[in-house]
Structure formats: structure tokens, C-alpha cells
Amino acid sequence: MDAAFVLAVVVTLAFAFTNGFHDAANAIATLVALAISPVLGFGAAWAMEVGVRRGLRRATTRADPLVLRGQWLTSGCLAFSHGANDAQKAVGVLAVLLLAHGTTQSLAVPVWTKLACSVALTAGTALGGWRIVKTIGRRLFRIRPVDGLVSQTSSAAVILSASLLGAPASTTQVVASSVVGVGVGRHRYRHVGWGVVGSILLAWVTTLPAAALLAALLVPVWRWLP
């Protein structure tokens, strides 16, 4: 689960808790986006995998170079959608903190915050994301190049659509769900790492409530401090 996503959700829920849920609609909308985006990622990947398998039924190995080249485009689209959604969560949290501190008078953030969030997101993905990459690409389901193309395309479409709608979504959740959708679309049910899927679901279910509760307990302390 993306740290920026957890941070954004935790801030929303924490302030909802401490303010008597006056802004409950925002908290509910955030949770709805959280619940729907992985389902959409799974469904889009499953449908696209079924369609691609039928379309490439008579394809030969000559199609492999085209698939590999296509992945450059789809991976770029996924990276763009990742930044468009996840970076904006971190920027939004900083905007709220700067406004609360009195540094700014509106939610319009300085340029340095956007640059800092972009650099942090890029560095974190490049340096610390390889274990997640191996889990999603090998332990959930060992994907082929064409499966990667399907997963990237469907994930980018879901995440970018969420960004255009202003809905927060977790890139990790959507991509992981799309990989499972690819495996189900190929009818390779036994090859899907259902044990890993269960562990991931457990992490999703427990992380947000625990972090939100801890944040809600710390907000009164933060307000009490001079």
C-alpha cells in the first residue's frame, strides 16, 4: 500500500474523528475510492486479458517484439498516472499543514512542495520498491510480457481516471489487483499465489484503521502543544 495514500487517508479520517465527523462525506468518499479502485483494476485486467488472448490466438513469436516495445509506452503511462495520483496526495497533505501553520493563506502550494514530492516519490520507488515489484511480478502470478502489457494498460487507465475524478487510489493496490485479474483471465487459478493475496488483503484491511486510530489519538495532543 502506498505511503502517500495511507498518509492522505489517515489525515482525512483523523480530522473526521476529532471534528465529530462534520466532514464525514469526505472520509466516506475516500474510503469508497479505496474499496472500488482495486476491484476496477481486477475487472479491467481480466476483461483485457481475455480479449488479448482471443485476439492473439493465432499470433506467432513475431509479435513478441511489438509487445515489448508496447510496454515502453504502457509503463510510461503507468508511471505518469502514478505521479498524477500518488504525488498529489502528498502535496495535498502538505498544503493542509502549510495552511494550518499559517505559512500559506490558501490550498495553493508553493512550487517547491511539488518538486519535493516528485523527487521523494521517484527516489522511494527506485530505491525501495524492488521487493514490491518482485512480489507483484512473481509471487502473485508469474506474468509474461503480454500479461505485463495488459496489467500496465488496465492499471494506468484506472488510476488516471481516478486522478481526473479527484479520487485517491493506491497504485500498489490497483496494480496488484490487475495482476491477479490477469491470472484469472488466463484461467491459471492454481498459479495465482492466493496465500500472498490473502496476506496483502490482510495488510490492506489492518493498516488504515490502525494508522487512522493512532493519528486520531495524536491530533488532540498536537492541538494542545503551543
**137-147 pLDDT, tens per residue?**
888 888 888 88
Residue 158's pLDDT is 94
Rounded to two decimals, what is the model's pTM?
A: 0.81
Q: Using alpha carbons only, what angle is made at residue 128 by residues 125 and 1, rounded to the nearest 5 degrees?
A: 70
pLDDT at 119: 86
The pLDDT value recorded for residue 218 is 76
pLDDT at 1: 55
Q: Compute the average pLDDT of residues 186-200.
A: 88
C-alpha to C-alpha distance for 92 and 201, rounded to whole angstroms: 26
* DSSP states of 154-211: HHHHHHHHHHHHT----HHHHHHHHHHHHHHHTT-GGGS-HHHHHHHHHHHHHHHHHH
Give me the chain's average pLDDT, please.
81
Mean pLDDT of 103-122: 82
Percent of the chain with pLDDT over 70: 85
Question: What confidence score (pLDDT) does residue 156 get?
Answer: 94
Q: Cα(8)–Cα(30) distance, rounded to whole angstroms?
A: 9
Please tell me the predicted confidence (pLDDT) of residue 174: 92
- Tell me what pLDDT residue 25 has: 64
pLDDT tens profile 6-62: 555 555 555 555 555 555 566 677 777 778 989 999 999 999 999 988 877 776 567
Spatial separation of the C-alpha atoms in residues 150 and 78, rounded to whole Å:
11
Confidence of residue 210 (pLDDT cuts 50, 70, 90): confident
Nearest CA among 209, 154, 169, 31 for reference residue 88:
169
Residue 187, Ramachandran bin (φ over 0: left; ψ between -120 and 50: alpha; else beta): left
